[in-house]
A and B are shown apart, each in its own frame.
Chain A
Amino acid sequence: MTQRTLRLVPGTETLASRPLISSAALGMLLFVLVELMMFSGLMSAFSIVKAAAPGGWPPPGQARLPIEETAFNSVVLLASGAFLLLAARRFKLRRSSASLPLLVSGLLGAFFVIFQGVEWVGLVRQGLTLTSSTHGSFFYLIVGMHALHAVGGLGFLLSTWVRLQRRSLDSSVLVATQIFWYFVVGLWPILYGMVYL
């Protein structure tokens, strides 16, 4: 990454601008904007098809989604977000103390993804597949797309943790990771409300 060197020229010190938001964070914000719009597209498509379904939703004779188990899993994901917040606060005070909450955040996130995988296996056994109906198609598409983002986010969390262990973690990278993971965590309750309830 090249960073231009800010050289102070007499008379222009006041004009030389320091970035308001670091480049890593700004780039990540733009990326999250794309993903947010993509999920809006998916969700609006889903709600249109859901509203137009002749026999009500979910269509009669289709597998029931595990509402309670997923509610528990949602709490796990939210806790993961909370631990990342804690890690970021500790990072500001003493860098090394952020290591444990960051690790816990990643582990809780991994638990969320694995728990969902187990859920999917159960649903497929009950006959709900990608092609069985639009119910199944939208369920696997929306939840699967979120799971992909969760896996990507876990990658960010892992690389952030490794950098922290090596003492090479830049605070702007931590901010970028936070932006992405809060997006993954914050989007989930909305998806849960729309798809499961």
Chain B
Amino acid sequence: MAQSAQTVPHGGHEHHESHGLSYYLFPLDHKIIGMQYLFTGMFMALIGGFFAYAFRMQLAFPGMSVPFFGVVSAGEYNSLVTNHGSIMIFWVAMPVLIAAFGNFLIPLMIGCDDMVFPKVNRLSYQIFLLSVIVLITSFFVPGGGFGGAWTAYPPLSANAQYSLTPLGSTLWLTAVALEFVAFLLGGINFVTTVMNSRAPGMKLYDIPIVVWMIVIASILFTASVGPLIAGAVMLFMDQVVGTQFYDPAAGGDPVLWQHLFWFFGHPEVYVVLLPAMGITADVMVTFARKKLFAYRTVLYTAVGTGVLSFTVWAHHQFIAGIDPRMANVFTITTLLISIPIAEMCFVYIATLYGGSITFKTPMLWALAFVAEFLIGGVTGIFLGASGADIYFHDTYFVLAHFHYTFFPIAIIAVYAGLTYWFPKMFGRMMNDTLGKIHFWGTIIPFNMIFLPLFLLGAWGQHRRIYSYQNFPELAGDTMQNLRILATLSLVTMLLFQLVFLYNFFRSMFKGEKAGKNPWRATTLEWTTESPPGHGNWKEMPTVYRGPYEYGTPGRDQDFWPQNEPS
């Protein structure tokens, strides 16, 4: 990428800056910023995965000295669990799905040379990097990293007397706050760019679904994060200044935090889900060689899901002492929101129906996304119903459920996107055989980790317990064996990620040259060089048709790029 960015002519565009060292340290180019987000996200995923390894080993083999970590103490266990969750959601799913793909794809897919506010974009990454540094610092301060769960309920998070991590909790909160600022700046940029900078001829219904999904997700994030910022400021003041917003003894209210947190927390699920759905749609049409079934329905459904996602948050609080009548309302809205998502899955299946499908690696990931996410969705219905949730609340059933949603989102869809757009990002193809080995080596162990956890949860195993030895009814051999099975599967899955890393970095330098359009796809990013130079096109494209014109009768080729005149 480095060399080609310098050699490709700029097609008469304004230069941002010279291409010295500062170009890579302080870049304005959306592609470089996207790559910065991608690699930072991948690095954080390694940390998050390592944390999962450490605490799963403790659960399977309590008290053992974990290789590469040592004995996990109870305090460390809490900190590992908390930061695994925080990292995977805030520092992996968000930066990779929205920031990395959004930055890389949006200008390329709508046919413009860069974001509308390139300097805001650069600031966004710099603040994000700062948040990463603050978070990592928090692991090494006296008392250790924050251990009050990624949801940070007070009083545990507000009061150092309870959490025992006086510095860790404040640094954690600061890191999350910085990360939000970074994504707000990015989100404002994405929406504005898509609205105002599209190529001539590209109407709203000509925008590829993945771009739409990132835009809708950005709007959702913008609209939902405000109350959490308010709540976080209050929590920060409780921690540092000594106010008592969440302390019932002084007239505060701890459940207040839960409302403010989940008002953001539930839309956040859709903030990461929608881009994943978008990536899947784009990959599926290309490898099914078929127009996306019901483009407008998908779009309207996504908007509807977004609106509905603001009305479901209290289903996380059924046993937090909220009024049962209110629980009924939230049960209904929660069950309603499964309808649009199911509809989108049906639309995707209808897209596949009658297509001429090739099972390349990206397509396998896209298919796996729909299949695995369905399991997550279906198990969610039990938790959305307040009656069943009273039993399931805070068990491993919940844990398995949301891993069946978040893993497909943050890992499976990301692999679909990465393997699909890798040729555009780096100009070379990834090895398909290694890709398939990695695919099966991830998908099979993934199911073997979390299917047993459903069972354990249904048998009453609670979350966030350091060791089950002290719970006689949970410490039996059958349950312990399932824990060991889950842990060994996790280790297997993590080892198979080495195959991906090898394939990724090897292909970057030694892969087969990709050319402009290796997948014979229709959207605009495939009409420029791989990797695209600074300014993206030598001559800016004009758009003549929708994004998914495959198999048009009477044409030689089975695909019809958006920029080709009739």
Contacts and interface: CB of A to CB of B under 8 A. Distances in A.
A37 B117 CA distance: 23
Nearest to A16: B200
B237 A137 contact: yes
A52 B321 CA distance: 15
Interface in B1-59: 13-14, 16
Nearest to B257: A45
Interface stretch (A75-83, A128-136, A163-171, A185-193): A128-136
A34 interface: yes
A44 to B, nearest CB: 8
Interface string A113-126: 00000000000000
B223 interface: yes
Given A2-B113, A130-B243, A134-B244, A37 B188 contact: no
A134 B245 contact: yes
Contact of B230 (A31, A33, A38, A54): A38
A131 B230 contact: no
A42 B230 contact: yes
Interface string B429-472: 00000000000000000000000000000000000000000000
Contact of B117 (A1, A21, A133, A134): A1
Nearest to B187: A30
Contacts of A38: 226-227, 229-230
Contact of B184 (A19, A34, A133): A34
A85 interface: no
Interface stretch (A6-14, A64-72, A95-103): A6-14
Interface residues of A, number: 49
B188 A134 contact: no
A34 to B, nearest CB: 5
A41 B263 contact: yes
A141 B237 contact: yes
Nearest to B221: A34
B542 A12 contact: yes
Interface string B185-227: 0011101100111111111000000000000000100111111
A33 B223 contact: yes
Nearest to B107: A4
Nearest to A43: B230
Contacts of B244: 131, 134, 137
A159 interface: no
A66 to B, nearest CB: 22
B11 to A, nearest CB: 11
A131 B241 contact: yes
B233 interface: yes
A49 interface: yes
Contacts of A40: 226-227
Contacts of B227: 37-38, 40-41, 44
A49 B251 contact: yes
A122 to B, nearest CB: 21
Contacts of A133: 250-251
B253 A49 contact: yes
A152 interface: no
A15 B234 contact: no
Interface string A50-61: 001110000100
A123 B44 CA distance: 47
A131 B243 contact: yes
Which of A2, A22, A34, A45 has the most CB atoms of chain B within a 10 A radius of its CB? A2
B251 A134 contact: yes
A40 to B, nearest CB: 7
A17 B198 contact: yes
A141 B196 contact: no
A41 B113 contact: no
A30 B226 contact: no
Nearest to A12: B201
A141 B117 contact: no
B242 interface: yes
A93 interface: no
A1 B542 contact: no
B118 A2 contact: yes
B241 A30 contact: no
Given A9-B542, A33-B223, A133-B251, A16 B201 contact: yes
B231 A45 contact: yes
A1 B121 CA distance: 11
Contacts of B201: 9, 12, 15-16
Given A12-B200, A30-B192, A49 B252 contact: yes
Contacts of A52: 251, 253
B100 interface: no
A141 B200 contact: no
Contacts of B259: 44
A41 B260 contact: yes
Nearest to B204: A17
Contacts of B298: none
Interface in B108-163: 112-114, 116-120
B561 to A, nearest CB: 15
Nearest to A49: B253
A131 B188 contact: no
A16 B200 CA distance: 4
A23 B116 contact: yes
Contacts of B178: none
Most chain A CB atoms below 10 A, which of B202, B542, B544: B542
Interface string B500-535: 000000000000000000000000000000000000
A19 B250 contact: no
A7 B200 contact: yes
A15 B199 CA distance: 10
Contacts of A1: 116-119
A48 B129 CA distance: 36
Contact of A30 (B112, B222, B256): B222
A27 interface: yes
B243 A137 contact: yes
Given A23-B196, A37-B226, A4 B241 contact: no
Given A38-B226, A130-B237, A4 B243 contact: no
A26 B196 contact: yes
A36 interface: yes
**CB-CB nearest 4 A-B residue pairs:** A37-B226, A41-B227, A41-B230, A38-B226
Given A26-B196, A49-B251, 12 more contacts: A2-B13, A27-B120, A27-B188, A30-B191, A34-B229, A37-B227, A40-B227, A44-B227, A45-B256, A49-B253, A131-B241, A138-B245
Interface of A: 1-9, 11-12, 15-17, 19-23, 26-27, 30-31, 33-42, 44-45, 48-49, 52-54, 59, 130-131, 133-134, 137-138, 141, 145
19 contacts: A5-B540, A11-B565, A12-B544, A15-B200, A17-B200, A19-B196, A23-B192, A27-B117, A27-B188, A30-B219, A31-B184, A34-B229, A39-B226, A41-B229, A41-B260, A49-B245, A134-B245, A141-B243, A145-B233
